[in-house]
């Protein structure tokens, strides 16, 4: 969305650090971030200030809490399809304002194709595309409706297919994460999109395998599930939150109260999609045994990638306003779900909540229960993903055999998983090995949580 004649340099601090030379090279530094990156964002702003470089800030973090930062020259807030052109026009006229904001939601037809030349594909295992913004659900801890609206806005099918083609033309093959907060927020439009994706995938030999986020009602729609599988979707993140009904009602997660969550997860797996699950502890209605309830649900459902966090109070959510009214806010959230710190006064004694959370993390990310979940997942999983193994995939398998199968303390668990999967469900071997590799990152994070 920046002028093509500009010299542009993109620094993604997930893959490489921002150097002083990068800052000195620039005339302007544009920064975007999410809440979890609050501290590092201020550090970057301070570094830019030390070189007298003007900072232009935008994206979710700065849109939500612009007042907490020092040293920002200009704010381009809300969605850039509206506010960035205003900034660029004033820059050309030499009449820049401090802040550019919008109270309207842009038509996503205005969104251009990403400029893939600004990144190095070798830095990534998955690329990202977007079809829609907004979510019709009313979960009280989530700010998506506040930020993007409750009526999902979508790109046109041809627009999205053009983005797929551009990614293909740039040389990418492999994983593509569709970053919509709720991909099935508008099921009618998504069905039509999937039909076009299936045609494109078949014509190009299925070069991409997709992952995304959706709500649990996906399990109720066989047609939609079948279309996603035919389009080569293989992973979906679902906000389970909690198996405790009263806590689901409390946070207004109504879509989860009308279904058998365990059966829904297993059905999605059986159809050929891996379920990645989000879980939360710290609701007012959580009973004291919530930690064992969460553990049992996670283990029995076979959700290998279980992202469990303490409840965070995000600014401007319904939860935020309720707890502020009750005088229970402590401080602004840092956005880090695995940080054992509370930003509100819970109903459960804080020490019981935090210690219970540590116990839960330790339980589910110890080697034996983790590998047990892989076996449970594979029991119900029906692998359907299409695609060829790349040289990078082969190298990863060989490295896993060496580092996990020979050098790690989990080597017996690993080899039993490999042998059993090879005998009973050969097509699922890539998923089994992938989960075994990912374990090391989860175990590292779990140790960090338990030490806090």
Over residues 129-184, the pLDDT tens digits come to 999 999 999 999 999 999 999 999 999 999 999 999 999 999 999 999 999 999 99
CA-nearest of 138, 123, 137, 233 to 178 is 233
In this structure, the strands spanning 233-241 and 274-281 are: parallel
Say if residue 70 is in the same domain as residue 134: no
CA distances from 400 to 15, 215, 236, 391, 394 (A): 22, 33, 24, 14, 10
pLDDT value of residue 336? 60
Same domain, 39 and 86: yes
Residue 392 confidence (pLDDT):
80
Tell me, yes or no, whether 204 and 248 share the same domain.
yes
Half-sphere exposure of 311 (CA within 13 A, CB side): 29
- Indicate whether 96 pLDDT > 60: yes
- From the CB of residue 225, how many other CB atoms can be counted at a distance below 10 Å? 22
Please return the burial class of 382, using the count of CB atoms within 10 Å of its CB with bins 0-12, 13-18 and 19+.
Answer: middle
Measure the CA angle with vertex 296, ends 292 and 299; round to 5°.
135
Select from 100, 120, 140 the last residue of a domain. 100
Distance CA(99)–CA(56), nearest Å, equals 10
pLDDT at 39: 95
- Same-domain check for residues 202 and 296: yes
Contact status, residue 134 vs residue 152, Cβ threshold 8 Å: yes
123 and 265 assigned to the same domain = yes
Total domains present in the chain: 3
Within a domain: residue 349?
A: no
Mean confidence (pLDDT) of the chain: 95
55 and 145 in a single domain? The answer is no
For residue 438, what pLDDT is reported?
94
CA distance 275 to 377: 9
In a domain, residue 161? The reply is: yes
The pTM for the full model equals: 0.94
Measured distance CA(175)–CA(423) in Å, rounded: 27
Whether the per-residue pLDDT at 335 is higher than 60: the answer is: no
> 194 and 128, same structural domain?
yes
Which of 306, 308, 248, 237 has the alpha carbon at shortest distance from 274? 237
318 falls in which pLDDT band (50, 70, 90)?
very high
Asked whether residue 51 falls in the same domain as residue 139, the answer is no
Q: Which helix (H) or strand (E) holds 335?
A: none
Q: What is the mean pLDDT of residues 85-96?
A: 97
Residue 223 lies in a domain: yes
| Domain termination residue (choose one: 305, 320, 345) | 305
User: What range does the domain containing 197 cover?
Assistant: 108-305
* CATH number assigned to the domain comprising residue 173: 3.20.20.70
Proportion of the chain above pLDDT 70, given as a percent: 98
Residue 153 and residue 262 share a domain: yes
Percent of the chain with pLDDT over 90: 93
- SS3 category, 311: coil
Residue 171 lies in a domain: yes
* Cα 404 to the center of its chain, rounded Å: 27
Is residue 234's pLDDT more than 80?
A: yes
Domain assignment present for 90: yes
Domain-embedded: residue 81 = yes
Identify whether residues 173 and 232 lie together within a single domain. Answer: yes
Rounded to 5°, the CA angle 170-173-174 comes to 140
Q: Look at residues 310, 302, 301 and name the one whose alpha carbon lies nearest to residue 360.
A: 310
Joined tokens for residue 85? 């052109």
Judgement on whether residues 169 and 298 belong to the same structural domain of the protein? yes
Give the tens place of pLDDT for each residue, 3-53: 999 999 999 999 999 999 999 999 999 999 999 899 999 999 999 999 999
pLDDT digits over 356-411, tens only?
999 999 999 999 999 999 999 999 999 999 987 777 888 889 999 999 999 999 99
- pLDDT at 333 exceeding the cut of 60: no
């Amino acid at each position: 969305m920046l002028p093509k004649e500009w010299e542009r340099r993109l620094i993604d601090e997930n893959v490489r650090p921002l150097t002083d030379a990068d800052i000195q090279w620039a005339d302007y530094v544009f920064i975007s971030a999410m809440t979890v990156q609050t501290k590092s964002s201020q550090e970057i702003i301070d570094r830019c200030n030390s070189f007298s470089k003007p900072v232009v800030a935008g994206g979710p973090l700065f849109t939500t809490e612009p007042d907490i930062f020092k040293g920002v020259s200009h704010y381009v807030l809300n969605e850039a399809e509206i506010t960035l052109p205003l900034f660029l026009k004033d820059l050309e006229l030499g009449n820049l304002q401090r802040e550019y904001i919008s109270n309207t939601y842009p038509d996503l037809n205005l969104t251009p194709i990403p400029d893939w030349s600004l990144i190095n594909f070798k830095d990534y295992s998955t690329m990202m595309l977007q079809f829609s913004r907004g979510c019709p659900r009313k979960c009280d801890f989530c700010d998506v409706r506040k930020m993007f609206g409750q009526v999902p806005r979508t790109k046109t099918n041809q627009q999205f297919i053009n983005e797929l083609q551009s990614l293909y033309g740039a040389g990418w093959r492999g994983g593509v994460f569709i970053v919509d907060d709720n991909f099935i927020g508008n099921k009618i439009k998504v069905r039509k999109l999937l039909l076009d994706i299936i045609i494109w995938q078949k014509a190009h030999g299925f070069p991409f395998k997709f992952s995304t986020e959706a709500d649990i009602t996906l399990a109720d729609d066989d047609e939609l599930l079948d279309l996603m599988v035919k389009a080569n979707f293989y992973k979906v993140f679902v906000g389970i939150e909690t198996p405790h009904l009263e806590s689901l009602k409390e946070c207004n997660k109504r879509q989860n109260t009308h279904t058998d969550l365990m059966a829904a997860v297993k059905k999605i797996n059986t159809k050929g999609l891996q379920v990645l699950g989000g879980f939360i502890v710290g609701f007012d209605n959580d009973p004291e045994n919530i930690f064992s309830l969460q553990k049992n649900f996670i283990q029995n459902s076979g959700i290998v990638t279980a992202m469990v966090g303490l409840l965070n109070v995000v600014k401007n959510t319904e939860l935020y306003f309720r707890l502020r009214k009750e005088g229970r806010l402590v401080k602004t959230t840092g956005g880090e779900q695995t940080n054992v710190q509370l930003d509100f006064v819970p109903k459960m004694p804080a020490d019981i909540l935090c210690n219970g959370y540590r116990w839960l993390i330790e339980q589910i990310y110890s080697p034996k229960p983790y590998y047990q979940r892989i076996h449970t997942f594979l029991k119900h999983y029906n692998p359907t993903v299409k695609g060829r193994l790349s040289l990078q995939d082969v190298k990863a398998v060989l490295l896993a055999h060496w580092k996990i199968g020979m050098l790690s303390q989990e080597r017996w668990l690993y080899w039993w998983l490999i042998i059993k999967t090879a005998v009973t469900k050969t097509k699922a071997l890539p998923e089994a090995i992938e989960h075994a590799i990912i374990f090391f990152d989860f175990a590292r994070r779990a140790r960090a949580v338990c030490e806090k």
